[in-house]
Structure 1
Amino acid sequence: MTTEVRVPTLGESVTEATVATWFKQPGDSVAVDEMLCELETDKVTVEVPSPTAGTLGEIVAGEGQTVGVDALLATITEGEAAAPAPAKDSSAKSDEPAPAADSGAGEEVKVMVPSLGESVSEATVSTWFKKEGDSVAQDEMLCELETDKVSVEVPAPASGTLTKIVAAEGTTVDASAQLAVITSGDAPAAAPAADKDSESAPAQATDDGGRDVEDAPSAKKAMAEAGINRDQVQGSGRDGRVMKEDVAKAKASASQAPQPGAAAPTPRAPVPAEDAGREERVKMTRLRQTIARRLKDAQNTAAMLTTYNEVDMSATMDLRKEYKDLFEKKHGVRLGFMSFFTKACCHALREVPEVNAEVDGTEIVYKKFVHMGIATGTPTGLVVPVIRDADAMSFAEIEKAIAEKGKRARDGKLSMAEMQGGTFTISNGGVYGSLMSSPILNPPQSGILGMHKIQERPVVVNGEIVIRPMMYLALSYDHRIVDGKGAVTFLVRVKEALEDPRRLLMDL
């Protein structure tokens, strides 16, 4: 029976892709969900898994070919048609002393990607704690996977010998991919064959200046057409592979290069010999890369400006102190400051709707609802869970939602849907002791409020110097659609609501 391998869905508004790399060749045996090839679009790189087990037949779309959605890429012959693969192995056995993998008493156990959490479909293999040939005990940690949200440790499903690592460090795998093979029992003899294979691999990867990563064919073609050297391009694909868009960026950078006599960027200075051993170079996690990219995009896209004010927290603190025990007894959740700030922001956003809007091309999209993002620190980085329709919630509902989302964020169980769609964000740096800061926008939002440490300071009230618990507030906003007047008005309304919470009840 023949199964067709077709181009998968490529994402919104993406109608075509370029075949970048084939990982298998006609005649090769393939397993279910084993990666066959990699497609490259203007936005992302898409790996195509095998829909069935069998033998790869004809490759219809070769490397460098542009294909549309649902186009035929290759065919796979299922069932007994996969028999040529064992024959190929048996012929290899006559030349190499590797039959121990088959003749050993052990049974091969596949190491698969464990559950990654809700809505997480792929991960990157960050670290292998074992290497091929090592003995492993059941439940001993083999490797660590990294997703956009959490790190996942992969334990050994059985005791034995790690005979094959299928997904090396830096490889992106999907939720059902195979990571390695363990031969249980007394089968460590298979390891030398694996070592021999791994030793021969680098020799096959020296056609590109000694590098072991093959660049996308479309990228090679673009470099040749533009006359750009490979060393001038920073690869963004898997394992540093150069993609077509990387060449476009390098070409744009070259066209904007400083003219002779202009100041050139200063390269990183060589590390002194005495300091060479005191540095540590660590690859950024996927979550940290996502955070860095989004924050930099916000700086590059929005016309960001920050305005400041300060608020006397006495009234809010007194009200909280008076009712917190009754509140917790009735609603089963503690009364914190975040519900007051959320309510105050929702109140102010109704008066200054442009702070709750976003830019879409040449249009402004005004939101008639408030999906409040609450920036939350986790062991792996900053995430922003969204409280939907916060403007329609009570204090208790807001506190419960914040507590539940915060716990899920720290446990790494937030879904992508729970971190999307926010219209405004609150960031509380005060929990870490920050006295004043300028928060960065969370695109495509046009406003973010920064809370800070409550600190007793001398202030003048009715002509007298008194000590009050004060907090600095910072509103960063997109000046493209929010004018200074609107930003200041918003911050003043938040200040007024916190200094006299009764205004929230009276809608003033």
Structure 2
Amino acid sequence: MSTEVRVPTLGESVTEATVATWFKKPGDTVAVDEMLCELETDKVTVEVPSPVSGVLGEIVAAEGDTVGVDALLATVAEEGNAGPEETKPRHTGAAERTEEGRDDAPVSGVDDAGGAAVDVMVPTLGESVTEATVSTWFKKVGDTVAQDEMLCELETDKVSVEVPAPASGTLTEIVAEEGATVEASGKLAVISSGSGATAAPKTETAPAANSGSDAKTGGDVEDAPSAKKLMAEKGVDASAVTGTGRDGRIMKEDVQKALAAGTTAAAAAPAAKSAPRAPSTAEDAAREERVKMTKLRQTIAKRLKESQNTAAMLTTYNEVDMTEVMALRKEYKELFEKKHGARLGFMSFFTKACCHALKEVPEVNAEIDGTDVVYKNFVHMGIAAGTPQGLVVPVIRDVDQMSFAEIELAIAEKGKRARDGKLSMAEMQGGTFTISNGGVYGSLMSSPILNPPQSGILGMHKIQDRPMVVNGEIKIRPMMYLALSYDHRIVDGKGAVTFLVRVKEALEDPRRLLMDL
């Protein structure tokens, strides 16, 4: 029986890909989830795993071919029809399926002491994430570990990933030390589950940790076809390009980066000579601390700067009297929590008010794609959350269809997982509008930065008692400044002001939300 290998979903708006590399050839034995080939799109590189164990049959799409989503790539003859498993050696880096049916089982062997050596591999990091940094080891060489006990924590440019022990035993070798950059499916450590387990000398870990950067020079690596074509067209020498693909292979994006760097090399040279900045005195140097930016912080910096460089960002302000919302919340918060098991906060009111306003001003919920404006007939609300690692924006999907209780429960759950570093990339993608609450930190007024490709973000601020004129009389009211940053390329000033006024009206008279006014 043959199983078809097809092109997986490539991501939003991506309809085709190029077959960059086949890691297997017809007749090779493959394990379930072992990587068969690599596809390259204009946005990401996608690895295609084997759906079953068996023998690779016909390769339908050769290297360099362009294929659409769900197109047939190859066939795999399952093990029952593929002959004995021993016909070919099994790929040592593959993830196997155990008898219990668990995916991503470790690769096992026999160590020098006669025990079973189990490799600890980098887990799946998510779509478009190809590498991570080892941030913390919770165990050291020689420690005894239990199965599923946390060994280390990896940090990507989007999320933190904890790596559990695949088996019980003794940690005999750490291949990737703290601070090392590892590729997806790379090797992190070795656990010996035998009784004679001994720790490997620590000096052996250093070259292994750098194996990813040395892989290109140590073997014959085939560069991506699109990269080779671009290098030939632009006259770029492969030795001048740093490859970021598997085993150091050069991807199309690497060539583009090298070309961009080449055009600015002369201008950047003086800056490079002066970096890093030297302290003014030796005494200052002794009191300074230099810490490398985390990947998450680097990504935050990059995306925020890209937002400023791309969008025609403008901010409009208003203020809202929170009297009615606070009174409604005070009256019903105990009943609300008793019935729904969630604390009634302000975020559900603001979320509802924004959904109400987005229906009237849909361009704030839209995005630019080339020369098109894409209007969203739904609201996937991003709720910005501060964490010890930096700002993240989990997305609550179809929030316009949710009740107050569902919104509060979703915000609480996403916020907790964000602080614990447990959010997946999928939970931070696809947002159409964002709310950022700087008021929890005491901010009185600020201009939030757009979260591209979104066209609007609402900034909430501190609630502060101020004297206000109400019906000709001066009264003390709990007031909050609101700020809407928007992309002026598709949102006009009239639309932005109207949006903010509708939010203000809904919050100052929450009954308007019930009446859809």
TM-score of the pair, normalised by structure 1 = 0.73
**Contact (CA 8 Å) 1:7, 1:68: kept in 2 or not?**
no
Aligned: 1:82 with 2:100? no
Q: Which residue is 1:43 aligned to?
A: 43
Aligned: 1:487 with 2:496? yes
Question: What is the distance in 2 between the residues matched to 1:120 and 1:257?
Answer: 28
Q: Which residue is 2:451 aligned to?
A: 442
Match of 2:435 among 411, 426, 431: 426
Question: Where do 5+ consecutive residues of structure 2 fail to align?
Answer: 93-108
Q: Which residue is 1:473 aligned to?
A: 482
Taking a change above 3 Å as real, the CA distance of residues 109 and 336 of structure 1, as seen in their structure-2 partners, is same
Task: Count the aligned residue pairs.
Answer: 479
**Contact (CA 8 Å) 1:54, 1:81: kept in 2 or not?**
no
Aligned: 1:282 with 2:288? no
Aligned: 1:401 with 2:410? yes
Taking a change above 3 Å as real, the CA distance of residues 239 and 498 of structure 1, as seen in their structure-2 partners, is farther
Measured against aligned partners, the alpha-carbon deviations of 1:262-281 in whole angstroms (never above 9, x if no partner) come to 99984453443743894434
Match of 2:18 among 2, 16, 19: 16
Question: What is the distance in 1 between the residues matched to 2:131 and 2:260?
Answer: 31
Q: Which residue is 1:158 aligned to?
A: 168
Q: CA deviation at 1:196?
A: 10
Question: What is the distance in 2 between the residues matched to 1:353 and 1:250?
Answer: 40
Q: Which has the larger radius of gyration?
A: 1
Q: CA deviation at 1:306?
A: 0.9
Task: Give the SS at the match of 1:457.
Answer: strand
Question: What is the distance in 1 between the residues matched to 2:328 and 2:516?
Answer: 18
Q: CA deviation at 1:25?
A: 11
Task: Give the SS at the match of 2:465.
Answer: strand
Q: Which residue is 1:66 aligned to?
A: 64
Aligned: 1:170 with 2:181? yes
Taking a change above 3 Å as real, the CA distance of residues 130 and 82 of structure 1, as seen in their structure-2 partners, is farther
Task: Give the SS at the match of 1:443.
Answer: coil
Q: CA deviation at 1:386?
A: 3.4
Aligned partner of 1:137: which letter?
T
Q: Which residue is 1:315 aligned to?
A: 324
Measured against aligned partners, the alpha-carbon deviations of 1:194-242 in whole angstroms (never above 9, x if no partner) come to 949958998x95996xx99979465467456534567975665468865
Of stretches 428-437 and 400-409 in structure 1, the one that deviates more from structure 2 is 400-409
Question: What is the distance in 2 between the residues matched to 1:489 and 1:85?
Answer: 61
Task: Give the SS at the match of 1:17.
Answer: strand
Taking a change above 3 Å as real, the CA distance of residues 280 and 46 of structure 1, as seen in their structure-2 partners, is farther
Task: Give the SS at the match of 2:159.
Answer: coil
Task: Give the SS at the match of 2:374.
Answer: strand
Taking a change above 3 Å as real, the CA distance of residues 78 and 179 of structure 1, as seen in their structure-2 partners, is farther
RMSD value, Cα: 5.2
Aligned: 1:503 with 2:516? no
Q: Which residue is 1:387 aligned to?
A: 396
Taking a change above 3 Å as real, the CA distance of residues 137 and 213 of structure 1, as seen in their structure-2 partners, is farther
Question: What is the distance in 1 between the residues matched to 2:301 and 2:119?
Answer: 36
**Contact (CA 8 Å) 1:112, 1:180: kept in 2 or not?**
yes
**Contact (CA 8 Å) 2:45, 2:128: kept in 1 or not?**
no
Measured against aligned partners, the alpha-carbon deviations of 1:53-77 in whole angstroms (never above 9, x if no partner) come to 8999999999xx6244555699999
Aligned: 1:346 with 2:355? yes
Measured against aligned partners, the alpha-carbon deviations of 1:373-432 in whole angstroms (never above 9, x if no partner) come to 322334444333333443344433433333343344444555555444433221111112
Of stretches 366-375 and 268-277 in structure 1, the one that deviates more from structure 2 is 268-277
Question: What is the distance in 2 between the residues matched to 1:233 and 1:73?
Answer: 35
Question: What is the distance in 2 between the residues matched to 1:354 and 1:504?
Answer: 20
Task: Give the SS at the match of 2:483.
Answer: strand
Aligned partner of 2:486: which letter?
Y
**Contact (CA 8 Å) 1:28, 1:85: kept in 2 or not?**
no
Aligned: 1:250 with 2:258? yes
Q: Percent identical across equivalent pairs?
A: 61
Task: Give the SS at the match of 1:171.
Answer: strand
Aligned partner of 2:275: which letter?
A
Measured against aligned partners, the alpha-carbon deviations of 1:151-184 in whole angstroms (never above 9, x if no partner) come to 304347333352584999422335xx86543234
